[in-house]
Amino acid sequence: MSLKINDDCTSCDACVSVCPNTAISAGDVIYTIDAARCTECVGAEDSPQCQLVCPADAIVAGAVESNDQLMAKYKGLHA
Ligand code: SF4
Ligand code: SF4
């Protein structure tokens, strides 16, 4: 699944640099994840890197996608 950021985000900026797909950006109030670019780190890492660094536990499950769909998305982004 792609992940999403909830209202617990404190806009600390820690997650942006660890995303292999440049899927995270600052929004008007909280940071946001572009679902079209989030592969749950499939293709690049063993686990979602943004969740590992978020001090607010603000990054949670979003739309459900299969592993094959996530890998296809990753390959599309890095073709
Ligand atoms: S799970 Fe991985 S690909 Fe998705 S936003 Fe977080 S760091 Fe980026
Ligand atoms: S690491 Fe967590 S608290 Fe910091 S900007 Fe990202 S989602 Fe928000």
Q: pLDDT in tens for each of the 79 residues of the chain?
A: 789 999 999 999 999 999 999 999 999 999 999 999 999 999 999 999 999 999 999 999 998 999 999 999 999 999 9
CB of 33 closer than 6 A to ligand 1? Answer: yes
CB of 40 closer than 6 A to ligand 1? Answer: yes
Q: CATH assignment of 3-77?
A: 3.30.70.20
In whole angstroms, give the CA distance from residue 65 to residue 35. Answer: 11
pTM metric for this prediction = 0.95
Among 8, 54, 57, 60, residue to substitute to test ligand 2 (most atoms within 8 Å of Cβ)? 54
Nearest bound ligand to the CA of residue 54? 2
Tell me, what's the pLDDT at 1?
A: 73
List the structure tokens of 43. Answer: 């293709």
Residue 31's SS3 state is strand
CB of 9 closer than 6 A to ligand 1? Answer: no
